[in-house]
Amino acid sequence: MAEFIPLIMFAIVFALLLLGYPVALTLAGTALISAALGIATGTFDSAFLIAMPNRLFGIVTNQTLIAVPLFVLMGVILEKSRIAEDLLDSMSSLFGPLPGGLGLAVTLVGMLMAASTGIVGATVVTMGLMSLPSMLKAKYDPALATGAICATGTLGQIIPPSISLVLLGDVLSNAYQQAQLSQGIFSPRTISVGDLFAAAIIPGLMLVLFYAAYIWITALIWPLKAPPTHAGTERTPNILSSLVPPLILIVSVLGSILAGIATPTEAAGVGAMGAFLLAIMRRALNLEKLKSVTRSTTQTTSMVFFILIGASLFSLVFRGFGGDDLVGQLFLDMPGGVTGATLIVMLVIFLLGFVLDFIEITFVVVPIVGPVLMAMGVDPVWLGVMIAINLQTSFLTPPFGFALFYLRGVAPPEVPTTEIYRGVVPFIIIQLSVLLIIAWQPAAATWLPSLLYH
């Protein structure tokens, strides 16, 4: 019975989260109670808990994780200073006269918003408030309009520079080193957040192109579902003034990381300062908005690190009970070898995406399954991209997808929930297709980082 304690711990955490208990406290509380019971029964070595202060020190001094509050700050400034709204107006004027033009504008702006905020909820809510009324007024099919907004909102999972990729990259880096040490490799290779950023570019652009192609083809076949609008009256200088500055900001942040000029943390600092200066130049940031930006950034950052501390304690106790050996043995016993194990992990992560946010899955699940899969020969960069797109698809899938809940919260009452569910189905098919392409051709994810860094 004692050997199954790690799985019992995991089941207890899952049940408590379903009941609505806070994630960080659930993880830490379950770990401490399990450790106390284990010490009392002689099944857990208390020496494991002595390592916790060093773990906490490692978290607060982790240079990569400093990028998190800075990228959050950059995204919140762009969101609250109406820069995204001006961008959508300009793109709508540019593409409006085309079949499905408004949908194409929403897709492109959603891509830029995803790159700047990196947070699914923020992107879906912002795009829903900005673009859904305009699309419904233009007589767009409600299913197509809501589907496009939800799908582009989830691009924050995969389009760099994304918070989820920063966190996933840091966790995968640690897991990869652990996997190599378990194989007796004492000078392990490392992967970086920059590797994951580079790996996500081609899959992210594939998703954007497929979304845009679907909207355009739908507009050609069924013109009444996505009629052209006659909004192409804005002059080119106005369009450029709205489009170019945020585009330069995002490209410079991402480009400096990919070129090796700056670390993700340094680039995040430049991005936050650039967004701040951009908002000041447009006179879009007053004292009240600055307070709101600071509060929102602090809340999001505190949540991330609080969950990380709880997850770190949970994984420590999980390993103390032999959980990593148990998971490794379960994977080895699965039919299909490494392919079967990877499929099972992807299915579990997809299902967990219905009830857990990407932060919890990244900090709790990936450190447990990542080292085992990598020790079996799975490429860490490819695995990171697969997990990101898998979670993106999970957040979009009815009836529990987070993106659907976010949009339902801001959509007008005349748009029924069934229309939102119906609208996302084609985009889910697109995302699953991209997932299969990357599974079939791993080079779609691994080619660019190998070209840039090796």
Cα 147 off chain centre by: 18
Q: Are 303 and 352 in contact (CB under 8 A)?
A: no
**Interval 359-418: pLDDT, tens:** 778 888 888 888 888 888 889 999 999 999 998 888 888 877 778 878 888 888 888 888
pLDDT at 3 over 80: no
Distance CA 394, CA 388 (A): 10
Q: Which residue has the tokens 């959603």?
A: 110
pLDDT classification of 1: cutoffs 50, 70, 90 = low
As a whole number, mean pLDDT of residues 272-296 equals 85
**pLDDT confidence of residue 238:** 63
Query: Based on the number of CB atoms within 10 Å of its own CB, is 73 exposed (0-12), middle (13-18) or buried (19 or more)?
Result: buried
Q: 288: alpha, beta or left, given left = phi > 0 and alpha = psi -120 to 50?
A: alpha
**Interval 139-189: pLDDT, tens:** 889 999 999 998 988 887 888 877 888 888 888 888 888 888 777 776 667
Query: Based on the number of CB atoms within 10 Å of its own CB, is 161 exposed (0-12), middle (13-18) or buried (19 or more)?
Result: buried
CB contact burial 82-106 (16+ within 10 A = b; e otherwise): bbbbbbbbbbbbbbbebbbbbbbbb
As a whole number, mean pLDDT of residues 435-448 equals 92
**Interval 301-322: pLDDT, tens:** 888 788 888 888 888 888 888 8
> Nearest to residue 175, comparing CAs of 50, 328, 45?
328
Q: Are 128 and 406 in contact (CB under 8 A)?
A: yes
**pLDDT confidence of residue 235:** 52
Q: Are 155 and 434 in contact (CB under 8 A)?
A: no
Distance CA 440, CA 437 (A): 5
Mean pLDDT of the chain: 83
Supply 106's token pair.
Answer: 């929403």
Distance CA 306, CA 311 (A): 9
> Nearest to residue 423, comparing CAs of 435, 433, 411?
411
CB contact burial 173-199 (16+ within 10 A = b; e otherwise): bbbbbbbbeeeeeeeeeebbbbbbbbb
Q: Give residues with Cβ within 8 angstroms of 389, minimum separation 6.
A: 157, 158, 203, 207, 431, 434, 435, 438
pLDDT at 104 over 60: yes
CB contact burial 343-373 (16+ within 10 A = b; e otherwise): ebbbeebbebbeebbbbbbbbbbbbbbbbbb
**Interval 209-256: pLDDT, tens:** 999 999 999 999 998 888 887 654 455 556 677 777 777 887 888 888
Cα 300 off chain centre by: 14
> Nearest to residue 379, comparing CAs of 175, 164, 86?
175
Distance CA 246, CA 261 (A): 20
**pLDDT confidence of residue 215:** 93
Domain boundaries, the chain: 2-453
Q: Give residues with Cβ within 8 angstroms of 433, minimum separation 6.
A: 210
**pLDDT confidence of residue 412:** 85
SS3 (DSSP) at 185? coil
Q: Which residue has the tokens 């600092």?
A: 269
Question: pTM of the entire structure?
Answer: 0.82
pLDDT classification of 123: cutoffs 50, 70, 90 = confident
pLDDT at 113 over 80: no
Name the DSSP class of 263: -
